[in-house]
Structure 1
Amino acid sequence: MLQALIFDMDGTLFQTDKILELSLEDTFNHLRHQNRWNTITPLNKFREIMGVPLPKVWETLLPDHSLAEREQTDAYFLERLIENITRGKGALYPNVIEIFSYLKKNNCSIYIASNGLTEYLNAIVSYYELDIWVTETFSIQQIQTLDKGDLVKTILNKYDFQSAAVVGDRLSDFYAARDNGLTSIGCNFDFAQEEELAMADFVIDDLGELKTIVHDF
């Protein structure tokens, strides 16, 4: 049986889609009000790149804006995300608590490794009381490279376990597993893309399916 599972957050544990459109629309309305944006909110473009670190997000969505403007936009977007989380606008995916409980009962440690910012991740963990099950949550902010493989390596260096898997929905998760000699489990959820899921060792349509995978190791 696996000793640890390292979960992505957005699109894997947390249904980011429920607050994404609200928060992004709020942010671009803010930009329009400041005369710094004059067209539609690029929601579809954001969906395409979902899962990359936020600095890369704003480079893509605001290519003609200055670094300072992108940083200001990032800060405002984070405020809107956190407010929508604390107002209960988001949701966990089905069976998150069930699988967490199962893993803990079977002595499988739980970690979160996300490209999300620390404050954002803490808001989700706090609101849904995930720290009851999760040993530690790691943000991409904790490393300089902004590489998820390096973030997963940080977990491996800190905690002593021999067998583990990375559970996520995007290519960065599967590469992070591969680069660290771990098993990758792809979640065929909202933001997943078929060609990326093909890189995962396993693909699931529901988190409850993890029971069988974890047990068979």
Structure 2
Amino acid sequence: MGSWKMNKPQAIIFDMDGTLFQTETLLLPAYYRLFDRLREEGLFEGPTPPEEYILSSLGMLLEAIWQRVMPDASEEARLRADVLLLEEELAGLKGGGSTLYPEVEEVLRKLHQQGVKLFVASNGLEPYVKGVAEAHHIHELFDGLYSAGGYRTSSKVDLVRILLKEHGITSAWMVGDRSSDVEAGKENELTVIGCTYAGFGGQEELIGADFYINHFSELLSLYEQCMEQSSEM
């Protein structure tokens, strides 16, 4: 499990996809519509690449995702894919049907009520990250929604560093399901909680995390355990 620093966090920083949000419930319908539109526009030929390609790429920046999903496509096709995917995802959010992981809203509300500052740090585009939070009525629980698209950062390490500096935070937990989340936490000297329930990446994704949770509700148990230990010190 690694050495878990039992410090009471001022803040908890969450990845969005595969941590709070069941991304595939929105992404997969949008993914298939995206390729239909690329073919209609003459920017892509052949069958839609297997959905495993994009699911295994979650957590990456969009540029890296398209390089994996359609390595032989033109730069024009990849740039157009950025636009179309966002359009389709935002339309999907308005249409309903996408879901958070079980108990996410309840746990976030309880943490918020206990005075923990809550943030999102995502490699996604700003309208997507805000759109997911608003569609699922959790946006008001966060002190900030940080996205690589909104801050034009090249890594989550930099995004989290900006977040910590802007809010004067010295003690925080980083919660996520990908190696980019572990790296962002460790490089910024945060406690890292690895989420194992999404299943988008292998176990190697979370090597280096200080603790692992198999269900989102376990995060609240960890926080309450930390509070108990803090009061005993």
Q: Are 1:43 and 2:51 matched, yes or no?
A: yes
Match of 2:217 in 1: 208
5+ unaligned residues in a row in structure 2: which ranges? Answer: 1-7, 227-233
Code of the aligned partner of 1:33: E
The yes-or-no answer on 1:73 pairing with 2:114 is no
- Tell whether 2:180 aligns with 1:172: yes
Instruction: Give the aligned partner of residue 89 of structure 1.
Output: 97
TM-score by length of 2: 0.88
The one-letter code sitting in structure 2 at the alignment partner of 1:169 is D
How many residues end up aligned between the 2 structures? Answer: 217
**How far did residue 123 of structure 1 move?**
1.0
Deviations for 1:71-107, whole angstroms, at most 9, x for unmatched residues?
1111011111111111112101111111111111211
Which deviates the most, 60-69 or 11-20? Answer: 60-69
In the alignment, is the contact (CA less than 8 A) between 1:25 and 1:41 conserved in 2?
A: no
Superposition deviation, residue 39 in structure 1: 2.2
Provide the residue aligned with 1:130 in structure 2. 138
Quote how far apart the aligned CAs of 1:127 are. 1.2
Do the aligned residues in 2 keep the contact of 1:2 with 1:215 (CA within 8 Å)? Answer: no
Query: Is the 2:11–2:118 contact (alpha carbons within 8 Å) kept by the matching residues of 1?
Result: yes
TM-score by length of 1: 0.94
**SS of structure 1 residue aligned to 2:65:** helix
**Mapped contact 1:9–1:113 kept (Cα < 8 A):** yes
- Considering only aligned residues, what root-mean-square deviation do their CA atoms show, in Å? 1.4
- Please give the alpha-carbon distance, in whole angstroms, between the structure 1 residues aligned to 2:134 and 2:34: 24
Tell me the CA shift for residue 161 of structure 1: 2.5
The percentage of aligned residue pairs carrying the same residue is: 34
After TM superposition, where is structure 1 displaced by more than 4 Å over at least 4 residues in a row? Answer: none
Cα separation, 2, equivalents of 1:192 and 1:104:
29
Give the Å deviation of 1:177.
0.1
Contact kept, 8 Å, 2:14 with 2:175, in 1: the verdict is: yes
1:13 aligns with 2:26: no
Per-residue deviation at 1:57? 0.9
Residue in structure 2 matched with residue 54 of structure 1 by the alignment: 62
Aligned: 1:194 with 2:203: yes
Q: Is the 8 A contact 2:32 2:48 kept in 1?
A: no
